[in-house]
């Protein structure tokens, strides 16, 4: 069949990803997204404070089920995300090339690295407890056991540059550890992040575990930093001035704050990510138990 010369292209409508659904911004606002040469790519939704609050509600609702899932199950789902992203590789290569001003070959390398990064963190879900937990030596007839637990709802400010691999590198460890996330995408290059929502929605990831917002970073981040139901915030995508403001706002309910560092891949996302980001939003629970006590089965602990 010959291609029709009068056929109009179907432009993609980019939407937010909140609670497993794809809403437009509550405000109805959009803003133009252009490539590195100023060419128009799409209109992205410009999130409002109401969108941010809705995302927190969805993340909190999903937290119990996600944090209560087995680490092995979370690893399976993260691996499934890698599978689905691999299946849509051509789409993401095109979007990353346009968003980041890269050649096709360099964009392909970025997407491949992002797939590998999901696989990396999928493998860590059932191992991190062995690294940061364990039995503690005590002087007395007691067992003293420490285990890691997720912090809760975490706001993630995605990197403004190297947006796609950077986004995956800051998001994957947060949910691998059992937290739920509200992601603020790169303001200048939000399209790959918004498309990632489509991958997550088809990857067995429960709705609300990841919520993706686009728009002006400062406008969205401000209400998230002061939100009483947000437990942590990753400031990677904030400049120094905004990061300082958000840290002050986060102190209202003692949020855990992760600050950008010039180590462990920050700034160069192609390096080995290590485990720092996996442990950034984990809390340690310590349990004491007397030795020699009998359990229900009659065996001694």
Closest to 130 measured CA to CA, from 71, 190, 47: 71
Q: Sign (positive/negative) of CA torsion 67, 49, 222, 266?
A: positive
For residues 260 and 255, give the distance between their C-alpha atoms in angstroms, rounded to a whole number: 16
Q: What domains are there in the chain, each with its CATH number? A: 42-290 (3.40.605.10)
Does 2 have pLDDT greater than 60? no
Does 297 have pLDDT greater than 50? no
* Cβ pair 216, 269 in contact under 8 A: no
**What SS3 state is found at 4?**
coil
* Residue 297 in tokens: 């089965």
Q: What is the pLDDT of residues 151-162, one digit of tens each?
A: 999 999 999 887
The pLDDT of 128-133, averaged and rounded, is 82
For residues 185 and 191, give the distance between their C-alpha atoms in angstroms, rounded to a whole number: 9
* DSSP for residue 23: P
* Cβ pair 121, 82 in contact under 8 A: no
- Strand segments, DSSP code E, in 8-141 are 30-34, 40-45, 134-135
Confidence of residue 239 (pLDDT cuts 50, 70, 90): very high
């Amino acid at each position: 069949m010959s291609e029709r010369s009068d056929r109009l292209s179907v432009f993609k409508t980019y939407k937010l990803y909140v609670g497993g659904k794809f809403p437009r911004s509550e405000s109805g606002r959009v803003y133009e997204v252009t490539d590195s040469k100023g060419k128009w790519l799409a209109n992205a939704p410009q999130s409002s404070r109401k969108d941010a609050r809705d995302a927190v509600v969805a993340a909190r609702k999903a937290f119990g089920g996600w944090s209560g899932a087995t680490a092995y199950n979370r690893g399976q789902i993260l691996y499934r995300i890698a599978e689905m992203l691999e299946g849509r590789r051509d789409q993401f290569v095109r979007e990353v090339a346009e968003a980041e001003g890269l050649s096709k070959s360099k964009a392909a390398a970025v997407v491949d690295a992002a797939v590998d990064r999901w696989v990396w963190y999928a493998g860590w879900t059932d191992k991190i407890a062995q690294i940061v937990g364990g039995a503690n030596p005590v002087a007395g007839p007691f067992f003293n056991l420490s285990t890691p637990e997720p912090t809760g709802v975490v706001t993630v400010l995605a990197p403004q540059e190297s947006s796609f691999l950077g986004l995956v590198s800051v998001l994957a460890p947060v949910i691998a550890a059992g937290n739920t996330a509200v992601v603020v995408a790169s303001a200048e290059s939000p399209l790959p992040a918004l498309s990632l929502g489509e991958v997550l929605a088809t990857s067995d990831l429960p709705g609300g575990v990841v919520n993706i917002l686009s728009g002006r970073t400062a406008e969205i981040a401000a209400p998230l930093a002061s939100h009483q139901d947000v437990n942590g915030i990753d400031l990677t995508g904030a400049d120094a001035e905004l990061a300082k403001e958000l840290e002050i706002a986060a102190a209202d309910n003692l949020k855990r704050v992760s600050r950008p560092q010039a180590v462990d891949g920050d700034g160069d996302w192609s390096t080995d990510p290590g485990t720092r980001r996996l442990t950034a939003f984990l809390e340690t629970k310590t349990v004491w138990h007397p030795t020699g006590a009998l359990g229900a089965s009659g065996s001694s602990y």
